[in-house]
Amino acid sequence: MTTVTATNAPLRKFIAMNAPIKNDRIEWLQGPSADGTVKCPPVPAERNNSWRLILLGAPGVGKGTQAELLTERLGACHLSTGDVFRAAGKRKDCDQSPAMKAAMEYMRRGELVPDSTVWEMVRERSHCILDCGGFILDGFPRTIGQAESLRELMENAQLSLSAVINYELPLDEIVRRLSGRRTCEKCKSVFHVTERPPKVEAVCDRCGGRLFQREDDRPESVTVRLEAYERSTSPLIQFYKNLGLLLPIVAKGSPDEILARTMEKMAHLDKE
Ligand code: AP5
């Protein structure tokens, strides 16, 4: 186990995990239940390191893949807003609110879901951000408005971000990654038909679930998503740079190489 310190933060630890964390993020994916029965397992004390990270980068750059790997190393919970919308989309029609039904349409077209819907959903799940032993936010915030809402939520709870990791990759490589992506319908693990293939075709290595191609990975939706990223999300790079939180990472190479580059930069957080 290596221990590092980071500016404005308590002592932080990188954990060498022998086995992947069994965390199905049920509270994040399903949202709070009225009877309190939807609960994630308690966070073991040795994994409660309070890493609070945001992953930025264009659609398909590899945020979800890195979030899974970082979760195994840091013990923080992988919180993806895209996964919440996709989980909601799988529910029976009558269990979906009108706002959620509208969100599905935005997603299919590749457009951003309105800030008010996204924030309502995140606010309902704020327990996962504030009380769950650290987080890796993937796909949120995506606009300056969302970033301001998150800042207010965290400031009110006297919490600060550890860093904002910005993954950078040329456009042609991004499009190649998106077109070959396959996702597990059960545990949401991410594969690629050639770069990260499952051991058995179309079957998840982790849970045996069926792998599917996302509807918004069709070429016409990909173009819209990349435009939305340029217009609404890329300004967050400067926003977090101004706050002294940005860690730019080149996202070329294998997932393990990118993870190693990320951990190396994070280990130097307190020295920069
Ligand atoms: P979301 O699910 O967040 O999608 P995204 O940001 O578009 O990102 P992706 O999941 O497409 O890509 P990724 O960077 O995670 O890459 P991955 O690791 O999968 O959002 C979807 C939609 O939901 C949005 O368009 C919007 O409509 C809505 N939404 C969600 N949040 C919102 C918000 N906050 N506000 C408004 N709307 C919101 O990797 C891609 C592929 O590459 C995989 O196949 C992977 O195996 C492969 N790969 C990864 N790393 C490597 C590598 N190093 N080498 C080779 N292949 C690799």
Which pLDDT tens digit goes with each residue over 105-124? 999 999 999 999 999 999 99
CB atoms within 10 A of CB 254: 10
Read off the pTM. Answer: 0.88
Q: What whole-number distance in Å separates Cα of residue 231 and Cα of residue 233?
A: 6
Write down the pLDDT at residue 120: 93
Q: Is 214 a catalytic residue?
A: yes
Catalytic residue, chosen from 12, 52, 125, 181, is: 181
Which pLDDT tens digit goes with each residue over 127-186? 899 987 889 999 999 999 999 999 999 999 999 999 999 999 999 999 999 999 999 988
Catalytic residue, chosen from 12, 52, 182, 225, is: 225
Which pLDDT tens digit goes with each residue over 191-238? 999 989 999 999 999 999 999 998 899 888 899 999 999 999 999 999
Where do we find the tokens 């397992």? 41
Q: Is 142 a catalytic residue?
A: yes
Angle between helices 115-124 and 81-89 (to 10 degrees): 90
β pairing state of 190-192 and 181-184 = antiparallel
Mean pLDDT rounded to a whole number for the chain: 86
Encoded tokens for 162: 């550890």
Encoded tokens for 201: 């075709």
82 lines ligand 1 (CB under 6 A): yes
